[in-house]
């Protein structure tokens, strides 16, 4: 079964079970093999020209397939974070304004990564509840390092009510800068906790 199809099935199972069941990614790592040569930094790696790699080219997702797959997961995790109280209020605006911007960010950041290495990226961190910011992180599964961290923060400027500020951090600047994606207005009342 192609890797992109297997990952799509994992996403569907996770979505349908409301995130309660998340298949272990250890099985995926086992399929990559135990060769320590695979544990290199994929940004600088170059594919080898042996028959094994040539036979596996068909299993490597295109950049478009990778982005489509990640966006399905991103939307699912965002709705999981919003919970049943926040989601109905901001879902439409999130889909129209924020999700397309998340797609642009993923496209821009992953352009620095060779297409054949996109297969080693996955969503590593799942939404956090309460008042914490994390929606999800995209990680290099070979070395465990984050590539992009997507967060949402509650802002309450004086006399303006509450806003949800969507932003990201990236490995390109050592996660030091706060890059704004956009904001969605809640109202004057304190929003419920995430995932409630």
Give 23-34 pLDDT, tens digit per residue: 444 444 344 443
CB crowding 158-180: b at 16 or more within 10 Å, else e = eeeebbbbbbbbbbeeeeeeeee
pLDDT at 9 over 80: no
Query: Per-domain residue ranges for the chain?
Result: 3-185
- 131 or 9, greater pLDDT: 131
- The answer to whether 177 and 169 are in contact (CB under 8 A) is yes
How many angstroms separate the CA atoms of 21 and 25, rounded? 12
Write the CA distances from 91 to 11, 75, 117, 142, 181, integer angstroms.
20, 10, 32, 34, 16
| pLDDT at residue 14, rounded to an integer | 59
Give 104-137 pLDDT, tens digit per residue: 999 999 999 998 899 999 998 789 999 999 999 9
Give 57-84 pLDDT, tens digit per residue: 556 788 999 999 999 999 999 999 999 9
Give 79-90 pLDDT, tens digit per residue: 999 999 999 999
- 47 or 35, greater pLDDT: 47
Contacts of 106 (CB under 8 A, 6+ apart): 67, 70, 71, 74, 138, 148
Count other C-beta atoms under 10 Å from residue 96's C-beta.
Answer: 9
| pLDDT at residue 108, rounded to an integer | 94
| pLDDT at residue 57, rounded to an integer | 53
Give 149-193 pLDDT, tens digit per residue: 999 999 999 999 999 999 999 999 999 999 999 999 999 999 999
Q: CA 185, 165, 75: angle at the middle one, nearest 5? A: 90
- Whether this prediction's pTM lies above 0.75 is answered by no
């Amino acid at each position: 079964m192609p890797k992109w199809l297997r990952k799509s099935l994992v996403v569907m199972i996770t979505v349908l079970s409301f995130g309660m069941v998340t298949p272990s990614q250890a099985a995926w790592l086992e399929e990559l093999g135990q060769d320590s040569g695979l544990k290199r930094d994929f940004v600088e790696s170059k594919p080898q020209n042996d028959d094994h790699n040539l036979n596996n080219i068909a299993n490597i997702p295109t950049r478009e397939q990778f982005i489509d797959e990640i966006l399905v997961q991103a939307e699912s995790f965002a709705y999981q974070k919003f919970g049943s109280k926040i989601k109905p209020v901001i879902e439409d605006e999130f889909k129209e304004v924020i999700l397309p911007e998340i797609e642009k960010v993923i496209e821009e950041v992953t352009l620095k990564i060779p297409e054949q290495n996109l297969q080693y990226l996955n969503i590593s961190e799942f939404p956090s509840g309460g008042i914490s910011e994390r929606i999800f992180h995209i990680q290099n599964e070979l070395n465990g390092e984050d590539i992009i961290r997507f967060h949402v923060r509650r802002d309450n400027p004086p006399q303006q009510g509450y806003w949800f500020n969507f932003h990201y951090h990236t490995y390109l600047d050592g996660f030091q800068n706060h890059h704004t994606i956009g904001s969605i207005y809640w109202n004057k009342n304190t929003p419920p906790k995430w995932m409630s």
